Structure formats: C-alpha cells, structure tokens
Amino acid sequence: MVDIARRVWNHKWKIDPIVRSLLDTDFYKLLMCQSIFRNKRDTSVTFSLINRSKNIKLAELIDEGELREQLDHIRSLSLSRGESTWLRGNTFYGKRQMFRSDFMEWFETLKLPAYHLEKKAGQYELTFEGSWPEVMLWEVPALSVLMELRGRAVLNKMAKFELEVLYARAMTKLWEKIENLRDIEDLKIADFGTRRRHSFLWQDWAVQAMLEGLEDKFIGTSNCLIAMKRDIEAIGTNAHELPMIYSALAENDEQLANAPYQVLADWHEEHDGNLRIILPDTYGTEAFLKRAPDWLKQWTGIRIDSGDPVEGAEAAIAWWKDKGENPEEKLVIFSDGLDSHNIRDIHQKFNGRVKVSFGWGTNLTNDFRGLVTDGSLDAFSLVCKPINADGRSTVKLSDNLNKAMGSLEEIDRYKRVFGVGKQKSFDVFV
C-alpha cells in the first residue's frame, strides 16, 4: 500500500502528473463515447468548467502555470497497448468485446483536443471545443486536475508530521463509514467518486478499503484505470450529457420533447441487461415518466441523481406499477450526495420493494470535512458540462433548481415543452 502522506511530502515541490492515463476516467464516459461515435460523431460541442461554489476562488488558489502543465500532460497521453487490450478483451457487464473495433481503432490514436484557459473574477474559465466524441473525454480528467490542484495548494503548506496525522485521521474517518455499512444485508455499492476525488491515490486507497471492509457488497468502481489495476468491475451507464446535447440539436418543440427518449432508443440498440438504466431527471423526473414510451418499462431500472431520493424512487415505483411491471424486479441506483447514514436509511426504506444499489461519490473519495480547521480541504461543487452543440445552447433542469443551467429564456421554453412545474431547491454537495 502506498504511503500517501509520504508521497505528498516527497512530491510537493515537483511536477507530479495527476492524470497519467486516458483510462483514468469514468466507465460511463467510454460507453457514451462509443454511442456518440456511432450516432453523432460530427456534432461540434463546447464543454465548460462551472464552479457552483462561488466562494472558492480557484484562480487565486491554483497557479496557472501548474494548471497548464497538468492539462498539457493530459494532451500528451494515448492508450497503451495493455490498456487497449483490456478494453478490447475484457468482459464488461457480462459482455465480451463491449467496445467495437471501429471505435477502438479511433480511440487508440486519440489525443485530446486543445483547451482554452483564462482568468476571470478569481475563477478559471476553462473550455473545450471540437467534435463531441473527442471533447467529452476532457470532462473527468479536467475535474480531477482542478480538484487535486486545489488540494495540493493546501497540502503544500503542511509539515511532514501534519500530513501524516491528516491522512491517518482521514483513513479512520472513511473506515468508520465502511464499518457502519458492514451489517446491511443485500447491500450493493460502487465507487462513483472519480470526478471530485481528493486525489487518484486517495481514490485508489478508498477502493481498497471498500474491498477489504465490504467484500462482495462492494460491486466495483466507475474508474477504468483502478478497475483494470485492481481487477474489479468497471461500473457505469449514461449521464445527462446525452439528453442535453440531443435536446440542443432539436429543430422544433416536437423534436425537443422526444429528444430524451431518442437518446435511450439509440442506447437500446447497443446495450441490454444492467446497462439499460434510465436517467430521468435531466428535465424533471415527473415529466419524463409521464411522457415515457411503453417500451421503456421493460428496461432494467432507473438512476436517481437529483432531488429527494425517496420521492424519486417512489415516483419510479408508482410508474412501474402503473405500467404493469413488478417493481421488485427492477433496479434503483441512488447516486446523489450519498454518505453512510443516508445509504442506510434509503436501503432500509426500499430494500425488498426494489433491487437497491448505490453509487457512492464525493463523500467516499473526498471527505476531509472537520480535518482541517478552516475547512480548506472540504469538497466543493465543480462540474464540467456541455454548454452548446452545433452553436445551440444546452439546458439542464434537473430535479433540483440549484443544478439548473441555461439561459432564462431557454429554461422557460424547456419547462413549457416538458411540462415542468415549480421546482424545489436542495443543497448541492457535488
């Protein structure tokens, strides 16, 4: 096991690449990338960094030169032979050759496209523009770099012994959470913490702790590199990016209303089983289910990623019952703002009524709350989202008003088209 404190101390004054592989990303990005490569590869998109935690001035904490060095290093990366072999030959979700030859041939020669970086009002404006399959792969490594550089800015001020104590306390804190989950029968939980992790080393340690502490209750990680390294399952399906861009490309209100379902129709052609998971909240879960075509009722399950998790799951259960489906045979994946206490509560409420699974993110891989007196290592809400597609602005409504994005005019239009009523606001942790 790596001595993380010693590693941080030894490298604190040296260039230490944060992202060392194109596989240091979430599995769902690769699944989506293949789908986009097949269906929308010529679409031009722009992704942009969005810091929802406005009080954290990243441009005042992180040196621009160091940030550019990290981003430039990512642009130098390409798949190694071993990484390509793993993607081509490994079994994912029970399926061999998940990734098609044409996609792999493209991916094996890929270098991530250029980025644009500038400072504004104490924040970094970081954008990526180009063809959709290329640009989308910037999201996870860009977030990983920003999160870790912010952490390094704090850690660089600490003495060696202080670092030792900090990581000892953080390890104890995480282990206590894991112990709190051990006695939950039928628990199924995965690591979803790549994008806003403390560091790669810390995420890898967290995965090892989950393997040791939860054994077969821990079902895998979203991080492809760690999955390959630890010989465990790579976990992930699809994300809001798909309906956001499909919707932006719509020529009229009718196409807009159908866009979220066209996403899933394209997905349906490629995947089956546990990869057929509905993500309904991009433009409101209630509106999505109300308009959903009947063929979606046969999908394996649903992922709850915003709003009140209980309300979201209850809405899904009611929808399945209304469609003549047995909710007990359906999978509900909870993935928003989880920690050990609400994992316990949610599992207790829904276990037996549905198949319950959890994607544990930031509170697994970046919970340093209370370990630094000024809270300077506390996780914050940083995202990298598509903001336009072929020159048209994107919109996200979510089941949480605080996660909405887009111009007020377009938001009003989307609310009208999708029949979204008054939205609730929830604290955004990630």
* 142 located within any domain: yes
Q: Residue 232 contacts by C-beta under 8 Å, 6 or more apart in sequence?
A: 207, 211, 220, 221, 226
151 and 26 within one domain: yes
Q: Residue 408: inside a domain, yes or no?
A: no
Tell me what pLDDT residue 399 has. Answer: 72
pLDDT tens digits, 100-127: 999 999 999 999 999 999 999 999 999 9
CA distances from 340 to 83, 173, 197, 203, 361 (A): 33, 11, 17, 17, 11
Final residue of a structural domain among 157, 186, 216? 157
Mean pLDDT of 335-356: 96
How far apart CA 300 and CA 172 sit, in angstroms, is: 37
Number of folded domains that form the chain: 2
Share of the chain above pLDDT 70, in %: 95
Q: Is there a contact between 228 and 86 (Cβ–Cβ < 8 Å)? A: yes
pTM to 2 decimals? 0.94
Q: Is residue 372 part of a domain?
A: no
pLDDT band (50, 70, 90) for residue 423: low
Residues 195 and 254 in one domain: yes
- Whether the predicted pLDDT of 176 surpasses 60: yes
Strands (E), 156-233: 189-191, 218-221
Please give the Cα distance from 23 to 257 (Å, whole number). 35
Query: What are the angstrom distances between the C-alpha of 316 and each of 260, 268, 310, 319, 354?
Result: 17, 19, 10, 5, 10
CA angle 14, 18, 24 (to 5 degrees): 160
What CATH number has the domain bearing residue 312? 3.20.140.10
The average pLDDT across 196-221 equals: 97
Q: What pLDDT sits at residue 16?
A: 82
Tens digits of residue pLDDT in 271-321: 999 999 999 999 999 999 999 999 999 999 999 998 899 999 999 999 999
The answer, yes or no, to whether residue 428 has pLDDT greater than 60, is no
Helix (H) or strand (E) holding 360: strand 355-360
Within a domain: 172:
yes
Q: Is 140 a residue whose pLDDT tops 90? A: yes
